[in-house]
Amino acid sequence: MPIPDRLLLGPGPSNPYPEVAEALARPLLGHLDPEFLALLDRTCDRLRTVFRTRNPLTLPVSGTGSAGMEACFVNLVERGDTVIVGVNGVFGERMCEVARRGGAEVVRVEVPWGRALDPQRLLDARRDHPSARLVAVVHAETSTGVENEIAPLALLQETDTLLLVDTVTSLGGIPVEVDAWGIDACYSGSQKCLGVPPGLAPVTFSERAVERIRTRPDPPQSWYLDLGLIGAYVGAERLYHHTAPTAMVAALDAGLGALLSEGLDAAWARHREVGAILQAALTGLGFTLLAEEGCRLPQLTAAGLPAGADDRAWRGALLDRYGIEVGGGLGELAGRAWRIGLMGHSARPRSVAALVGALREITA
């Protein structure tokens, strides 16, 4: 059965860059092949550039963005630790659940969906819990289209509390400044603004995060995600840990190359431009933007459906008649909202034109 050609405008995956598709067609290399190890080193260097960091421990974890999240929590958090989590959507909730399953005492700092977190409230929570191991925040909340401000949390560098940030939907689409914002641990996903298929989770860890991992009394409960072991493979020692997904690393290297050839500033501007065009068009079609003005993501728009709209019927028509995928709402927004992604190679004016034209025909 032939695979249909889709325009992927949901919350991920996005359509890959042409350079990525070409990389996936190359001959397969072994995970200890010198040619692959050189490519892996280049990929890690490119990730440092995109993360805007000098952290030596910067690498792609084998798995989706959720594996990156698990890797951060299992390596940095021990049973009984206090973890402060900002919650204004599904993925903040997911951070709470992962921390809870790891035995942490979770302190939630919450605001209603569609609003941004106030960084001062997170800093106040840390003042009230001075022994907290982590403050964890989602930069781009994919369930609501909200951007949370991270830069003020650099004040945590003056404390013993580490800052963990989810950049799954933000990396490559809007500015992410790991070093300048004092981020100690950061994870992302390959399938969104990096324009690569799902399967890798770029992560980066500061020196003090690495020291926390190195000096913990017991090893992480996850052997597969133990960054002490993975780091020995990615680093100069090249000690075998698991079979790296070599084709996916080649794809990520190509996607990062395409992004860096365009330039980060240019890519961020492209995402801003097409996001603004889409959001203006959606309001003209009767959709309601769910994120408050001033904190709306350009690359992921959460929009309430017009009155009388049938969520499944409309999304089904987009997919079946036009080959366009958009995402439904999560949690309390299920059936009432869409999540429309303009990410990576999909963040083009032609994507907006195709979607808006199809919607006008469906709603005529």
User: What is the per-residue pLDDT across 75-103, written as a single tens digit (0 to 9) for each?
Assistant: 999 999 999 999 999 999 999 999 999 99
Question: How far is the C-alpha of 49 from the C-alpha of 351, rounded, in Å?
Answer: 28
- What does the block give as tokens for 340? 């429309």
% helix / strand / coil in the chain, to the nearest 5?
A: 45, 15, 40
179, 325 contact by CB (below 8 A): no
Is the pLDDT score of 2 beyond 90?
A: no
- What does the block give as tokens for 41? 């080193």
- What does the block give as tokens for 316? 């089904």
Is the pLDDT score of 6 beyond 90?
A: yes
The whole-number pLDDT of residue 70 equals 98
- Nearest in space to 202 (alpha carbons), one of 194, 214, 210: 194
- Residue 11 is classified by DSSP as S
Q: How do beta strands 140-141 and 146-147 pair?
A: antiparallel
pTM above 0.85, yes or no: yes
Mean model confidence pLDDT for the chain: 97
Where residue 332 falls among pLDDT bands split at 50, 70, 90? confident
- Nearest in space to 259 (alpha carbons), one of 339, 355, 353, 343: 343
The whole-number pLDDT of residue 237 equals 87
Q: Which amino acid is at 83?
A: V
Is the pLDDT score of 364 beyond 80?
A: no
**Which fold, 18-260?**
Aspartate Aminotransferase; domain 2 (3.40.640)
- Nearest in space to 319 (alpha carbons), one of 347, 355, 290, 352: 355
- What does the block give as tokens for 155? 């004040």
Is the pLDDT score of 236 beyond 90?
A: no
- What does the block give as tokens for 5? 């050609």
Mean pLDDT of 196-201: 98
Q: How do beta strands 337-341 and 300-304 pair?
A: antiparallel
Question: How far is the C-alpha of 248 from the C-alpha of 254, rounded, in Å?
Answer: 10
Where residue 1 falls among pLDDT bands split at 50, 70, 90? confident
Boundaries of CATH 3.40.640.10 in the chain? Answer: 18-260
The whole-number pLDDT of residue 27 equals 97
Is the pLDDT score of 43 beyond 80?
A: yes
The whole-number pLDDT of residue 3 equals 87
The whole-number pLDDT of residue 301 equals 98
Boundaries of CATH 3.90.1150.10 in the chain? Answer: 7-13+263-363
Is the pLDDT score of 128 beyond 80?
A: yes
Second CATH level (architecture) for the domain 7-13+263-363: Alpha-Beta Complex (3.90)
Where residue 334 falls among pLDDT bands split at 50, 70, 90? very high
